[in-house]
Amino acid sequence: MNFVAAQFGMQSFPPLLLAALRFALVAIPAVFFVRPPGNGVRTVVGAGLTMGVLQFGLPYSAMHLGMPAGLASLVLQVQTVFTVVIAAILLRERPSAYQVTGIAVGIAGMVLVGWRHVSTAPVLPFLMTIAAAASWALGNVLVRRRPPRDGFSLAVWSALVPPVPLFAASYLVEGPEAIAHAFTHVTWQALFGLGFVAYLASMAGYGIWNALLSRHAASSVAPWSMLVPPIGMVAAFFYSGERPGLLGLVGGAVVIVGVLMALGVGTGWGRTHDVPRERPVAEPPGL
């Protein structure tokens, strides 16, 4: 539901400014009350850059250049494939053949959901969104490689990284006039959208996501994001009455089947192939 809420926020805030404010609200004041994640400064900064600046800066910039928001949310879920490949190379977490088949089925379902948008998508914004998906996948593997003390603390502390580069990008791309107009013409709907993406999507959602990555193989966690398109279709229906059509409904059903296969439902894969949580390696200065 994050993408529907972001549409509320963009009623007043330009995309990059919205992303910068999102992470600023996550970090401040929570960072003064939440214990550091304990998995090293480099991992925290790396997570902030990959799962913050690039994961949101690139698709938000792509949206500024004409990428439809719904298609951006769909293309980002290609991170599932990137995560499995990178985890297999760097962490030696080998997915089963059944799991790979499930991921392929899920991707096919997402193509069905977004088919009517893909044919009209601008090339450069589309490639920028693909790059954002690859960045998200790299962040997943970084978190998996050095698990945090808890997922919520990593979400808060890594949020210190994105605001400055995203504010700078907003100033350069969207301009000071757009920033000033946003703050002087803010609406309650936009504030609701900003609050949702900051506190529910980032703090709660990514806190849970990071916790899962610290306890389970990356290839077991990543497929869950493929449920974003069908859930997003339901949210868009209730928000704006947007009807997905027969192809969208079939694609959503295929995605769900693919996710269940990727998670090894019916095979016992999740019980036998999840990698136990590792203790974070202590690094000064306490992060």
Q: Where are the domains of the chain?
A: 2-273
Question: How high is the pLDDT of residue 252?
Answer: 76
Question: How high is the pLDDT of residue 190?
Answer: 94
One-letter identity of residue 131: A
Q: What is the CA radius of gyration of the chain?
A: 19
Buried b (16+ CB within 10 A) or exposed e, 244-259: beeebeebbebbbbbb
Cβ proximity of 247 and 116 under 8 Å: yes
Buried b (16+ CB within 10 A) or exposed e, 171-208: eebbeeeebeebeeeeeeebeebbbbbbeebbbebbbe
pLDDT-derived band at 266, boundaries 50, 70, 90:
low
What is the C-alpha separation between 255 and 64, in angstroms, rounded?
Answer: 28
Give tens-digit pLDDT for 150-184: 899 999 999 999 999 999 999 998 899 999 999 99
User: What global pTM score does this model have?
Assistant: 0.81
Cβ proximity of 260 and 106 under 8 Å: no
pLDDT-derived band at 10, boundaries 50, 70, 90:
confident
Question: How high is the pLDDT of residue 107?
Answer: 84
Give tens-digit pLDDT for 53-81: 999 889 878 877 877 776 777 788 888 88
| Mean pLDDT score across all residues of the chain | 84
